[in-house]
Amino acid sequence: MHYTKRAVDTVNTDRIRMNDKKLSMYVNRLLVTALLALVLVVIMAITLMSCHETSKPTTPVVLGQEELITRGEYLVNTSACHDCHSPKVMTPNGPEPDPKRLLSGYPEDMPLPAINKEALQDWVLFNQHLTSAVGPWGVSFAANITSDETGIGNWTEEQFLTALKKGKYKGLEGSRSLLPPMPWPIYRNMSDEDIKAIFAYLKTTQPVRNIVPPPIAPDQIQ
């Protein structure tokens, strides 16, 4: 078969173009691969740096005594402590904490109102002050948690931690469990620092002498 010089040149030109196209595609693939590898290296570096930063031990913030008390006051006022531990005065807006008896628990001179035993089959009952409650456990009374000796005035910090972390009466190991409605299973999730802050604040509260009566067992309810 005889080819003219023009035909040969055309064939050679097409071959060169094909080779150039293949070379260009190869170079593009190399560039894409290199770019992906670079991105992967950057991601791995960022991940390693993040892991290194999060693994650093955190230094706990140590509060001064005044800051600790302020923190404790905030926690007491936002954790519903007054709802049960402060006797109430009746106002047009309903029961509100009595400023003279804050956090002093069920008043020792308050007679226990009559209890409807039939209602107890379906209800948990509170008195008007919300400082006593009646349920399957019997009758429980909110504790005095002021700084008075009839409250927690003689408690140690360790006792307070035991009371809220383990639900132990007066924070004593081997004592009975705290009765409902005291929500210690929730408070035990607090950090030790927050519980210590609450204790520090309670130690500064106005002392109110008030000996809260002991609980009444279910079979002793009149």
How many other C-beta atoms lie within 10 A of the C-beta of residue 107? 21
Q: What is the pLDDT of residue 72?
A: 97
pLDDT in tens, the chain (222 residues): 554 555 545 545 555 555 656 656 665 665 656 566 565 555 666 666 665 555 455 565 677 899 999 999 999 999 999 999 999 998 998 899 999 999 999 999 999 888 888 888 888 999 988 999 999 999 999 999 999 999 999 999 999 999 999 999 999 999 999 999 999 999 999 999 999 999 999 999 999 999 999 999 999 987
Q: What is the pLDDT of residue 63?
A: 76
Question: Among 101, 150, 170, 92, which Cα is nearest to 129's?
Answer: 101
Query: Tens digits of per-residue pLDDT, 141-176?
Result: 999 999 999 999 999 999 999 999 999 999 999 999
Q: What is the pLDDT of residue 222?
A: 79
Q: What is the pLDDT of residue 30?
A: 59
pTM over 0.85: no
